[in-house]
Amino acid sequence: MIARRIGVAAALLALATTFAGCGTGPEEASADEPFARVATKFGEVKVPSEPKRVVALGWGDAETALALGVQPVGASDWLAFGGEGVGVWAKGMYQQAPQLIGTLEPEYEKIAALKPDLILDVKSSGDQARYDTLAAIAPTVGVPAGAEQYKLSWKQQTELIAAALGRSAKGREVIDAATKSFEQAASEHPEFAGKTITLGARTSAGYGAYVSGTGRVEFVQRLGFKNNPEIDARKTEKFSVPVSRENLQLLDADLTVVTPIGVDAGQIGADPLYRAIPSVKAGRAVVFTDKTISSAFATDSVLSVGYALKVVVPLFAKALQPAS
């Protein structure tokens, strides 16, 4: 697979040379004074001029660009929204729908055909071969230094993308607004403070749970929750850990939340081993049965978190109410 990617990179290098000659007129900075400089895991990325044709490939990167007032010409649709590739919280923000691009395996030829002057691959795998292939097409802002695959908060994502787009002031503005929304939700629900929480998932392969350092967990930590220490003790470089049916009790916490991914939500509630988890037996559990709600929670962009707070927080609060 890596060999194929490198081959594609070489084939696209000639195209990249052609695209590099497409200037932006008087706004273009000189070679030693780029429009923006961004530090990433792959070194400093120089953005030579104000980006006009942005392709956003990372998880939530397109929504972040939209929040900053930039409409990507190409974007990956990680949660299969279709249409413009974004959730209802971003409805109407595009004047023209972007070209949708593949996710885990980006369609490099399609990306090159869009003639981008900036590629955003910020919340992504951080794979070197993937980055090299994209960078052969246009300046590419990948994961930040020290970041692991997909372990990036919406705040870090927004800061990095805002810097690349030359919109750091706007970035601070939208980050401040989102931060205040979290603070308000936490203050309205002091019962969340210090409570342990498990953020699980059920797929066709079985159960799993998310570890600290990921967007979903960072979301609930801002509300005062503490991630299940039993899950974090099994943490690896990946964003989640598998939980076997024999060890399903590991999902137990003050609040257990499970998202169905590619399976019907009813399979979770009908599972006798899931129902035997103490928190589930006590009613302190939430299964996301509404795809819009689970998608807002999963996207975890500076644009989606506001919507997620409105729909997720009431579910958490209800589940933690003492039984009458």
Q: What string of pLDDT tens digits covers the 324 residues of the chain? A: 434 444 444 444 444 433 333 333 334 444 468 999 999 999 999 999 999 999 999 999 999 999 999 999 999 999 999 999 999 999 999 999 999 999 988 899 999 999 999 999 999 999 999 999 999 999 999 999 887 778 888 999 999 999 999 999 999 999 999 999 999 999 999 999 999 999 999 999 999 999 998 889 999 999 999 999 999 999 887 889 999 999 999 999 999 999 999 999 999 999 999 999 999 999 999 999 999 999 998 899 999 999 999 999 999 999 999 765
Could you name the CATH architecture of 2-177?
A: 3-Layer(aba) Sandwich (3.40)
Output the CA torsion 247→218→132→100 (10° steps).
90
DSSP code at position 143: P
Q: At what angle do helices 291-299 and 304-319 cross, to 10 degrees?
A: 120
Picking from 29, 45, 265, 71, the residue whose alpha carbon sits closest to that of residue 160 is 45
Overall CATH class of domain 189-319 = alpha beta
The strand pairing partners of 40, in sequence order, are 43
Domain 2-177 and domain 189-319, same fold? Reply is: yes
User: Which contiguous run of DSSP H or E holds residue 291?
Assistant: helix 291-299
* Structure token digits, residue 87: 């959730």
* Structure token digits, residue 52: 């006009």
- The upper half-sphere exposure of residue 272, i.e. CA atoms within 13 Å in the direction of its Cβ, equals 0
Say how far apart CA 277 and CA 254 lie, in whole Å. 11
Going from N- to C-terminal start, the domains of the chain cover 2-177, 189-319
**Residue whose entry in the numeric block shows the structure tokens 């503005």:** 173
Say how far apart CA 200 and CA 151 lie, in whole Å. 16
Write the DSSP string, 242-290: EE-GGGGGGG-SSEEEEEESSS-THHHHT-HHHHTSHHHHTT-EEE---
What is the predicted pLDDT for the residue at 33? Answer: 83
What is the predicted pLDDT for the residue at 16? Answer: 40
